Amino acid sequence: MNAAAQDFVKLEQIIASTWLPHDVTCKWEPMFGDPAVLNSLKNIEVIGSLDDFANGLLSITFKGTDNQGREQRIILKGRARIFGQAYSVAERVKASGEVKSENITQVNCEWSNLRAATLLDRNAIAGKFAVRPLVPGRPILANDLRSRPLIRSGDSVTVICERGGVTVKVEGTAMRDGGEGETIPVRVPELEQNRLEGVVQNDATILWIP
């Protein structure tokens, strides 16, 4: 490890610790301040706090004590790039296709470059359905998947509304496929506006929350 890289080690470890329990590495790209100063300080603390999953442009103020026991403060500004493992598919999955457990593999990627949260639980991926085509090598993101549809577009569904201890049920027609926990539109002729949106329940009913 060269001297410049060594200067960043303590800072990168502190930033990476905000991602626990996930095992990641951090690469610091400096803009202001000298991270090497941290190597000469003891009892280092971050003034204020670092957000969980710290990444991107950061301004961090540290305090610590030098060899003479004097308190020192340092401000560092730069970009934190976060790298770690994520899940991908070994073979392409078409849109609406199911992601089989045996088709899930791990890849290394830059988490801080992803446009949405990557899924880090294999069990949260297996058995789900692709919203868009999934290709090998690209991390699977939370918005890439949906639950197994319990309701198909055109299905007759029961819409339930609970308010003030009173439960009202009406019949309607699903206007889109939906899995448990997803919000879908439902056509209800009895309503003046003719449609509503509700959350799909595990028994394939729709919970309407006005």
Cβ atoms of residues 119 and 125 within 8 Å = yes
Paired tokens of 35: 């991270």
Cβ atoms of residues 170 and 194 within 8 Å = no
Domain end residue (candidates: 109, 126, 146): 146
pLDDT value of residue 125: 94
CATH number for the domain harbouring residue 198: 2.30.30.760
Over residues 152-179, the mean pLDDT reads 91
Residues 140 and 182 in one domain: no
Residues 33 and 45 in one domain: yes
Q: Are strands 24-32 and 71-89 parallel, antiparallel or unpaired?
A: antiparallel
Alpha carbons 73 and 193: distance in angstroms, whole number: 62
Residues 139 and 169 in one domain: no
pLDDT value of residue 210: 75
Residues 6+ apart with CB under 8 A from 140: 86, 87, 88, 89, 99, 118, 119, 125, 134
Domain end residue (candidates: 102, 120, 146): 146
Q: pTM of this prediction?
A: 0.68
Residues 74 and 21 in one domain: yes
Domain extent for 90: 84-146
Mind listing the pLDDT tens digit for each residue in 12-28? 999 999 998 889 999 99
Residues 16 and 78 in one domain: yes
Domain end residue (candidates: 108, 127, 146): 146
- Report CA-CA distances (Å) from 182 to 145, 158, 178, 198, 199: 12, 15, 6, 8, 5
Question: Can you say whether the dihedral through the CA atoms of 122, 124, 128, 130 is positive or negative?
Answer: negative
What is the number of domains present in the chain? 3
Mind listing the pLDDT tens digit for each residue in 46-70? 998 788 889 999 999 999 999 999 9
Mean of all residue pLDDT scores within the chain: 89
Dihedral angle, C-alpha 135, 80, 53, 127, nearest 10 °: 10
Q: Which helix (H) or strand (E) element contains residue 16? A: helix 3-16
Residues 118 and 174 in one domain: no
Cβ atoms of residues 62 and 45 within 8 Å = yes
Residues 75 and 122 in one domain: no
Residues 134 and 105 in one domain: yes
Residues 93 and 72 in one domain: no
Maximum Cα–Cα distance across the chain: 79
Mind listing the pLDDT tens digit for each residue in 100-141? 999 999 999 998 888 778 888 899 899 999 999 999 999 999
pLDDT value of residue 51: 87
Dihedral angle, C-alpha 32, 41, 64, 54, nearest 10 °: 50
Residues 131 and 109 in one domain: yes
CATH number for the domain harbouring residue 139: 3.90.1210.10
Residues 13 and 76 in one domain: yes
**How would you class 43 by CB atoms within 10 Å of its CB: exposed for 0-12, middle for 13-18, buried for 19 or more?**
exposed
Residues 27 and 75 in one domain: yes
